């Protein structure tokens, strides 16, 4: 789970695992809003243990770079 928010570090980032983001209601809602097609990816179950930064190449075909960047910005703002 995320640590206490530090002013220099966001609570959530692409270093969180896919599983952490799926299991946290506020980050899951962001996925549902911006990247719902990721929830249908055949490797989602296997990818739960990987940081988002490592998993990005596997879903780049499903989501535009612009939406990935919007997701990152909004994720780090939570």
Tell me the per-residue pLDDT of 4-43, one tens digit each, with 9 for 90 and over: 555 568 899 999 999 999 999 999 999 999 999 989 988 8
Q: Is the pLDDT of residue 1 over 80?
A: no
How high is the pLDDT of residue 23? 97
* pTM of the predicted model as reported, rounded to 2 decimal places: 0.83
Q: Rounded to the nearest 5 degrees, what angle is found at the Cα of 43, between the Cα atoms of 58 and 29?
A: 85
**CA nearest neighbour of 13 among 24, 2, 29, 28:** 2
Q: Rounded mean pLDDT of 39-53?
A: 92
Predicted local confidence at residue 12, as pLDDT? 97
Strand, helix or coil for residue 6: strand
Whether the per-residue pLDDT at 56 is higher than 80: the answer is yes
């Amino acid at each position: 789970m995320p640590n206490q928010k530090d002013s220099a570090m966001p609570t959530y980032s692409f270093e969180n695992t896919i599983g952490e983001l799926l299991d946290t209601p506020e980050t899951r809602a962001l996925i549902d809003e911006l990247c719902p097609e990721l929830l249908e990816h055949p490797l989602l179950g296997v990818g739960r243990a990987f940081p988002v930064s490592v998993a990005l190449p596997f879903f780049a075909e499903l989501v535009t770079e612009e939406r990935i960047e919007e997701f990152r910005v909004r994720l780090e703002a939570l």
